[in-house]
Amino acid sequence: MNTGLIRLLPELVLCFGALLIIFIDIIYSDIKKYWLGFLAYGFTIISFICLFILGSNKTWLIVQGSYAVDGFSIFCKALLLIAGSVIILFSIAYVYRGMEYKAEFFALILFSLMSMLVLVSSADLILILLAFEFVSISSYILVGYHRDDMKSREASLKYFFYGAISAAILVMGFSFLYGLTGETNIYLIARALGGKTQLLIPDYTLLALLGLVLVGAGFGFKIGMFPFQMWIPDVYEGAPTPVTAFLSVASKSAGVALLLRFFFVVFTNNFSINWSIILLVISIITMFTGNLMAISQNNIKRMLGYSSIAHVGYILAGIVGIYHYKITTGYTGATFDVSPILIYLTAYIYMNLGAFAVIILSEDMTGDNIPSYAGMSQRSPLLAGMLTIFMLSLAGIPPTIGFIGKFFIFGELVNASHYLLVILAVINSIISVYYYFRVVYFMYFVPPETEKKGFSYSLLTMGALWACFAGTLFIGISPNLFIELAKKALIGIDIIR
């Protein structure tokens, strides 16, 4: 028996939890459903503890080398589990307020979370495809969970079509990579592309370029990079709010992690085509699309959708910086330092979760429209103050975690002497201040339409909100501890096996 299989424990715990929830719901159908929510929360915590116990800097390649457990994947899994557990806390009150099939909701969240954990570790084309589709299929159902709501059903339909097309494009890209090298393991594909083993045809430029573009398009759909960002605002507006938070935080982070591993392993080492120029252009357009479209939005979920597109633009700029640094310095080491992007992802997760927590808490009283947040500072000073901090953080203003994230990405770009990209990114940050502060303006400087108070502070959601708030401010004020931790975890992707 291969002892490496014990490394799959965090994923197995989540899978077991999801199945257990479904069984308990069938057998004890009159159980209070929030207990199942607590059970789901408990399983994410157990999974996190397993991850922590099994964590090490060593790289494990298990299941015939198709599953990589290394510092990078463990850090990403920890982020995903934090995001997942916080979202389950949000959903307990939300689901209880009026949703059918409560137990299945938690089971689907756990299944989706499990497949994301598999996604960030998988190092084989088949496994990547299966995990990618598992994430997508469970998300389609979650998006359409409000079956009586026209918007939710429409969002689900749109998400399904965009997702299915992206999956087909991804399989086509994989088919070219497989055909060129005859391997499905990404490390072996990288070796073949580097000329270590025989290729199908000696001049690989055309087939490899086809594979690169198609795979990039498939992944781009998932993370919402230009020109595949059309679904994001529609789906974010229509989905139930905890699901929107789940998509924008967990699903997107898993997609970015997958993109990082795949592109740095397969298309970087000994690969002659320089794709950073394509990604550079895409990242600039993505930033501008997200920020310029967000200005005119009136729905806050839609606005956060466009803002998440802009954040993906910054992340792509960071990838360009890392890649370019490698090219210019001629770095040939076995590990790639991707810590700036992971720090940015952490920041993005904390501040976005916090913003969504405030939206969930005030949804009943205000609705989704930004003008209806008028006078929040009088109706609920606490929520207004917290949302202000999260908006500051999303705009990247110190002393918040968002500033730390942007600082590291821009620092990486300066290292790679991409000054134009830095300037454009800073211009984008300034544009973004406008629409984030529009919310703050309505909360503090516009008198409320109604004097209605009585926000229902669900205890669990408040707890999650305070946790995000503490993370946003604490890491923002004293980032040293966190950065030490991140560097110590050796957050690099091993590119050679």
Partner 1 sequence: MPVIYYVILSSLLFCIGLYGVLTRKNAVAILLCIEIMLNAANLNIIAFSRCWPEPARGTIFVLFVIGLAAAEAAVGLAIIISYYRKSEAIDLDNINLLKW
Q: How far apart are CA 10 and CA 150, in angstroms?
A: 37
Q: How many residues sit close enough to partner 1 to count as binding (CB under 8 A)?
A: 42
Helices (H), 330-380: 339-366, 376-379
Q: Closest CB to partner 1 among 155 and 342?
A: 155
Specify the residue, 156 or 472, whose C-beta has the smaller distance to partner 1: 156
* 26 within 8 A of 104, measured Cβ to Cβ: no
Look up residue 100 and give its DSSP letter: S
Site for partner 1 contains 368 (CB under 8 A) = no
Q: Is 299 helix (H, G, I), strand (E, B) or coil?
A: strand
Q: Which of residues 198-217 bind partner 1 (CB under 8 A)?
A: 200
Interior/surface letters 132-153, b for 16+ CB within 10 angstroms, e for the rest = bbbbbbbbbbbbbbbeeeeebb
Residue placing its CB nearer to partner 1 in the complex, 162 or 350: 162
The piece of 142-150, 310-318, 414-422, 464-472 that touches partner 1 (CB under 8 A) is: 142-150
- Binding-site member from 17, 84, 144, 492 for partner 1 (CB under 8 A): 144
Interacting residue with partner 1 among 141, 278, 285, 446 (CB under 8 A)? 141
Amino acid sitting at position 212: L
Binding mask 148-187 for partner 1 (x = CB under 8 A): x-xx-xxxxxx-xx--xx-xxx-xx-xxx-xx--xxx---
Q: Which is nearer to partner 1, 156 or 268 (CB)?
A: 156
CA-to-CA dists, residue 155 to 104, 161, 175, 205, 416, angstroms? 20, 10, 30, 39, 40
In the complex, what is the shortest distance from the CB of residue 432 to partner 1, in angstroms, rounded to a whole number?
19
Contacts 24+ apart (CB under 8 A), 438-441: 438/370, 439/300, 439/303, 439/370, 439/373, 439/387, 439/391, 440/387, 440/388, 440/391
Structure tokens given for 428: 């984008």
Q: How many helices (DSSP H) and strands (DSSP E) are in the chain?
A: 20, 4
Query: Residue 233 or residue 402: which is nearer to partner 1 going by CB?
Result: 233
Two tokens, residue 71: 């510092």
> 267-296: which residues touch partner 1 (CB under 8 A)?
296
The answer to whether residue 237 forms part of the interface with partner 1 (CB under 8 A) is yes
Q: Which two tokens stand for residue 310?
A: 């802009």
Contact 323, 259 (CB under 8 A): no
String marking each residue 67-106 x if it binds partner 1 according to CB under 8 A: ----------------------------------------
Q: Is 488 in the site for partner 1 (CB under 8 A)?
A: no
Task: Tell me: does residue 63 bind partner 1 (CB under 8 A).
Answer: no
Structure tokens at 42: 């408990």
User: Minimum distance from CB of 246 to partner 1 (Å)?
Assistant: 17
110 to 139: interface string for partner 1, x by CB under 8 A: ---------------xx--xx--x---x--
Contacting positions for partner 1 (CB under 8 A):
125-126, 129-130, 133, 137, 140-141, 144, 147-148, 150-151, 153-158, 160-161, 164-165, 167-169, 171-172, 174-176, 178-179, 182-184, 200, 233-234, 237-238, 296
